[in-house]
Every structure is written in structure tokens, then in C-alpha cells.
Amino acid sequence: MTISAPTKTENATVTASKLVFKPKSRGYFPKGLCLLASLLIIIILAVVLVNIAIGGAGMITWDFLSSPPENGMESGGIFPAIFGTVALVILMTVAVIPVGVFTAIYLQEYTRPDAWLTRLIRLAVNNLAAVPSIVFGLFGLGFFIGFIGGGIDSIFYTSEGPVWGQPAIIWASLTLAILTLPVVIVSTEEALRTIPRELKEASYALGATRLQTIWRVILPQAMPGVLTGAILAISRGAGEVAPIMFTGAAYYLPYLPSALNDQFMELGYHIYVMATQSPDVEATKPILYGTVLVLLMLTFALNFVAILIRSRLRLRRTNA
């Protein structure tokens, strides 16, 4: 074999090219525009966060976190709001986790993905996630307070005034539980998908029933996903104000909620009240900033933990 010296081949002359290609631009313009958009978002986020951090940092003291508001919210702390928020999301979590987790299990383990009921449930989950939060507030008022609470009152407490048929922490937390249901379902489903089929088959092969397999194999494996879902739900629930405005949150309470039918103070609602209803906005501003910072740190910390767990979960899937 002789390696012939490279020559211009005849091919080029056979199809005499009439096409003259132009040199291309490097696309700096479209790339630059997209980069600019991304940078703007980053800058805006930074401005918002830095502004809140600077405004609120000085306020975060033990005293602020542990004492009640005073003097028409112009001084004092936010302890009742923190307490109310925590109580609210705990109740919400207790309600939403079992329902969300077992819905996810049903969707992933019990049905084929193209069954009509599965698709209908999925449709409902996706649409539930898009319902405006104020609509949840209306629903909580009409359903939980009016229908359920009012119903209980009319059966058991006929002689008294409203006992359950009034805004209360239980109704607010149940409203939030419905609002955060899609979060838990989606997150749990993602975890369930990472469980290798062999693991379930091994359990079935040893004679375990489906329920036993779910209880002993699938659920323990899905725990990180359930946890992520719970944390994301808490983070979402802690930040929502519109659904709790009419279902239980109070402007100001001289006492902490101690029963399920008590009203409560809440951080987000507290922010709304201080920002819009305060007679002297300038005077409440430092406390307002401090409260915003507390709420933001709470939600971000929760989100951060959820992201950490989720990324470890994804690692498991790619390694599987």
C-alpha cells in the first residue's frame, strides 16, 4: 500500500459547488443575553437576601426570640409567633405525611402508570399544587370551620357558642396539610422510584405479601424521600399566609395556644400584620425585619436540609 500524497480529489469538481458558506458568528450575542438574564436573577436574589440580612441581623437576640410582642408590636419579641408556627407545622406534618406517603405508594406500587385511576389521581395532585393559596383559605373556612367544625358543634355543643366551628389551629394546619399534600407525594414517589425492583422481588420470593413488602422493605428504603417531603412541606407550610388568615391565625394573642381549637400567632401572618396594619411602620420596622429574617432562615434551613437529603438520594439512584 502506497500512501499517496494528499491531492485535491476530483469529487470537489464533479459537483461544482454553488454554495458559498459564510463564516459563522460565535454567538456571543444570544449567549450574552442569556448570561445576563441569569446574572440578573442572581443579583436580585442577592439584593433581597442581603437587604433582609442587614436589616434583621441586629434584631436576632435571645430576648427577641423568647419574649412576646409588647407595646402594640413596636417592641418586644416574637416568641408566640414562633411557637404558633412550630405547632402549626407539626400538626400539619402529622396529618399530611401518612396520607401523602401512602398515596405515593399506591401510585408507584399498586397500579400501572397508564391506568385511568392513576392518571386521574396524578392529574388531581398536579392541579392541587397549582390551586392559589387564597383558595385554600376559602376552602378551609367553608369546609373545616363551617362544615366540619360547625357540624361538630351542632351535634355535641348545641347549647354553647361555637367551640369547633371557629378559626383554630387544627383547621389551619389541616388546610395547610392539603396544600402541601402534592409536595409529600412527589417527593416520596421520587424516592420509591430509586428502590431497585430486585429488592422487592427478593421479598416476594421469600413469601412476603405485598403489604409486608411495603411495610418492611419499601417504606424503610423510602425514608429519606419521606423525610425530604416532610421538610419541604414544612418549609412551604411555614411560609404560607393566605390559607391561614381566616382559618386560625390571630393578629395578637396574650396567651399561647394550648388546645386544638385555640387560635394562634404565626410568623408570616405576623409579618403581614406588622407591615400593613401597624399605626407606625417606622417604629415596627426593626422588629419587622427581624421577623422576616427569622422566617427566611427557617425556610431556607429546611430547604437546604431537604436538598442535601435529596442529592444523596439521587446519588443512590445513579449508583444503583
Site for other proteins in 8-37 (CB under 8 A): 8-12, 14-15, 17-24, 26-27, 30-31, 33-37
54 binds other proteins (CB under 8 A): no
Instruction: Give least dist CB 211 to other proteins, A.
Output: 4
Q: Which stretch binds other proteins (CB under 8 A): 43-51, 67-75, 188-196, 220-228?
A: 43-51
Rounded CA-CA distance 194/185 in Å is 15
- CB contact at 8 A, 190 and 225: yes
The residue count for binding other proteins (CB under 8 A) is: 106
Which residue number, 72 or 132, has a Cβ lying nearer to other proteins?
A: 132
Per the structure block, which three cell numbers stand in for 276?
400593613
Which residue number, 261 or 299, has a Cβ lying nearer to other proteins?
A: 299
Q: Which stretch binds other proteins (CB under 8 A): 65-73, 86-94, 223-231, 292-300?
A: 292-300
Binding mask 261-290 for other proteins (x = CB under 8 A): -------xx-xx--xx----x---x--x--
- Span 121-140, contacts to other proteins by CB under 8 A: 121, 123-128, 130-139
- Span 72-91, contacts to other proteins by CB under 8 A: none
Greatest extent of the chain over all pairs of C-alpha atoms, in Å:
110
Which residue number, 69 or 137, has a Cβ lying nearer to other proteins?
A: 137
Rounded CA-CA distance 298/293 in Å is 8
157, amino acid identity: Y
Binding mask 227-266 for other proteins (x = CB under 8 A): --------x--xxxxx--xx--------------------
CA distances from 168 to 145, 256, 260, 261 (A): 8, 12, 7, 5
Instruction: Give least dist CB 282 to other proteins, A.
Output: 10
Which residue number, 65 or 258, has a Cβ lying nearer to other proteins?
A: 65
Instruction: Give least dist CB 253 to other proteins, A.
Output: 16
Q: Which stretch binds other proteins (CB under 8 A): 49-57, 69-77, 79-87, 217-225?
A: 49-57
Rounded CA-CA distance 63/76 in Å is 8
Binding mask 151-190 for other proteins (x = CB under 8 A): ---------------------------x--xx--x-----
CA distances from 210 to 99, 112, 165, 187, 201 (A): 19, 15, 41, 22, 10
What are residue 49's phi and psi, to 5 degrees?
A: -65, -45
CA pseudo-torsion sign 206, 210, 214, 218: positive
**Ramachandran category for residue 76: left, alpha or beta (phi over 0 → left; psi -120 to 50 → alpha):** left
Query: Binding residue for other proteins (CB under 8 A) from 88, 292, 309, 313?
Result: 292
Instruction: Give least dist CB 14 to other proteins, A.
Output: 6
Which residue number, 64 or 136, has a Cβ lying nearer to other proteins?
A: 136
Q: Which stretch binds other proteins (CB under 8 A): 83-91, 101-109, 151-159, 220-228?
A: 101-109
CB atoms within 10 A of CB 207: 7
Rounded CA-CA distance 97/266 in Å is 22
CA 83-88-94 angle, to 5 degrees, is 125
**Ramachandran category for residue 255: left, alpha or beta (phi over 0 → left; psi -120 to 50 → alpha):** beta
Which residue number, 227 or 231, has a Cβ lying nearer to other proteins?
A: 231
Per the structure block, which three cell numbers stand in for 253?
394573642
